[in-house]
Amino acid sequence: MALVTACQIGAGDPNAHASFASGRSTAPSTGASTPTAGASAGPKATADITLEFAGDVHFFERTASLLKHPATAFGPSITPLLSAADVTTLNLETAVTDRGTAQPKTFHFRTTPTAFDAVRAAGVDAVTIANNHILDYGRVGLSDTLAAAKAKNFPVYGAGPDANAAWAPWITTVRGTRIAYLGVSDVQELSSSWIATATRSGEAIANNLSRTLAAIKAAHRSADIVVVFMHWGTEGDSCPNGSQTKLAKQMADAGANIIIGSHVHTLQGSGWLGKTFVAYGMGNFLWYINSRSTDTGVLKLTLHPGADEPYKATFTPAVVSGTGQPVIATGAKGAAIAKRYASLRACAGLTASPTP
């Protein structure tokens, strides 16, 4: 996390090929006593706040060897960008364990606690673990993941020892603005056995819709900005499915200011759903194979707390390289990715600017 606001990526930056005019959040500040993490709270300020988001990350096969040097695991291209934001988050799609039993599913991912060193070194401040791989090695694997995150003092959200913990937000305060992050999965594989309950560990899954919407409403009451990081969609489909669009509307109505998606292994469109900014899919980011698409990128939202000015979304295109690391795409390649990304807003049913 940058302690000062990063320089704005403007139209003159060769890496910033797509920019969308945006509107400001309207979530009220309540002064609630929810515990916070990150920068120290202070008087409300109008200085810009930058939030960055990226897609799916894990350390498996070709990317496992990157943990030999965690300080440089993400590579020199993308790390300065991730580190420049006030808060950066992405989806960590793996169990962190060497124990447990592989669950009855096709793909299984696991890694070592060094993964948390790697994401921290890349400038990532917290990760969602609400996805279809966090319990690949059962509840033993989940327990180990949570213990490793705690030992590394690295924030994770979207899963926990019970439902209260799984649906609890990670709240960070940046120059007086409280930002709540919730992680929720809507992937149905093994969802009935992976969902957290009052007496069972697991992850937050949208099947419990009432709990999901209640968590968003509660976060809206205690924070200025509510971000929901979703794991959802049809793999390989660049357009959101009906379940995504329906759920996005429900979450927006409940008070989500920003909705970010992952899971489908390709980019999906971003834009405005009323006054809620939605990015349906961020694609693979640090990935073990050239799955579906190598196009990826970093989405930056610049907020203007305390001001009536609109805020801005900027997409920096990148590709998943042969090492599995994300590399910023420039020139014709970067322009092509950015153009395609911007075109995906149409099938997502989103607008370029907020609407009433």
Instruction: Tell me if 244 sits within 8 A of 250, measured CB to CB.
Output: no
- Determine the Cα–Cα distance for residues 125 and 157; give it in Å rounded to an integer: 12
Q: What does the pLDDT read at residue 21?
A: 36
Q: Which residues pair with 171 in a beta bridge?
A: 180
Cα dihedral sign for 31, 8, 276, 165?
Answer: negative
Residue 355 resides in a domain: no
Residue 150 half-sphere exposure toward CB, CA atoms < 13 A: 8
Instruction: Tell me if 314 sits within 8 A of 342, measured CB to CB.
Output: no
User: How many domains in the chain?
Assistant: 1
Q: What is the pTM of this model?
A: 0.88
Residue 13 resides in a domain: no
Q: What does the pLDDT read at residue 42?
A: 40
Residue 220 resides in a domain: yes
Q: Give pLDDT tens digits for 89-144.
A: 999 999 999 999 999 999 999 999 999 999 999 999 999 999 999 999 999 999 99
- Determine the Cα–Cα distance for residues 177 and 199; give it in Å rounded to an integer: 34
Residue 26 resides in a domain: yes
- Judged against a pLDDT cut of 60, whether residue 263 lies above it is answered with yes
Q: What does the pLDDT read at residue 46?
A: 59
Q: What does the pLDDT read at residue 38?
A: 36
End-to-end CA gap in the chain = 33
Q: Give pLDDT tens digits for 280-319.
A: 999 999 999 987 799 999 999 999 887 766 579 999 999 9
Residue 7 resides in a domain: no
Instruction: Tell me if 72 sits within 8 A of 114, measured CB to CB.
Output: no
Instruction: Tell me if 227 sits within 8 A of 256, measured CB to CB.
Output: yes
- Determine the Cα–Cα distance for residues 131 and 230; give it in Å rounded to an integer: 8
Q: What does the pLDDT read at residue 229?
A: 99
What one-character DSSP code corresponds to residue 195? Answer: B
Domain containing 323 — which CATH number? 3.60.21.10
Residue 11 resides in a domain: no
Q: What does the pLDDT read at residue 309?
A: 64
Residue 5 resides in a domain: no
- Judged against a pLDDT cut of 80, whether residue 32 lies above it is answered with no
Residues of the chain with pLDDT > 90, as a percent, come to 83
Instruction: Tell me if 303 sits within 8 A of 310, measured CB to CB.
Output: no
**Of the candidate ranges 17-31, 63-77, 274-288, the one whose mean pLDDT is the lowest:** 17-31
How far does Cα 196 stand from its chain's mean position? 20
Residues of the chain with pLDDT > 70, as a percent, come to 86
Mean pLDDT across 234-262: 98
Q: What does the pLDDT read at residue 310?
A: 58
Q: Give pLDDT tens digits for 174-197.
A: 999 999 999 999 999 999 999 999
Residue 8 resides in a domain: no
- Determine the Cα–Cα distance for residues 74 and 29; give it in Å rounded to an integer: 35
Residue 135 lies in domain: 18-348
Higher pLDDT: 5 or 323? It is: 323
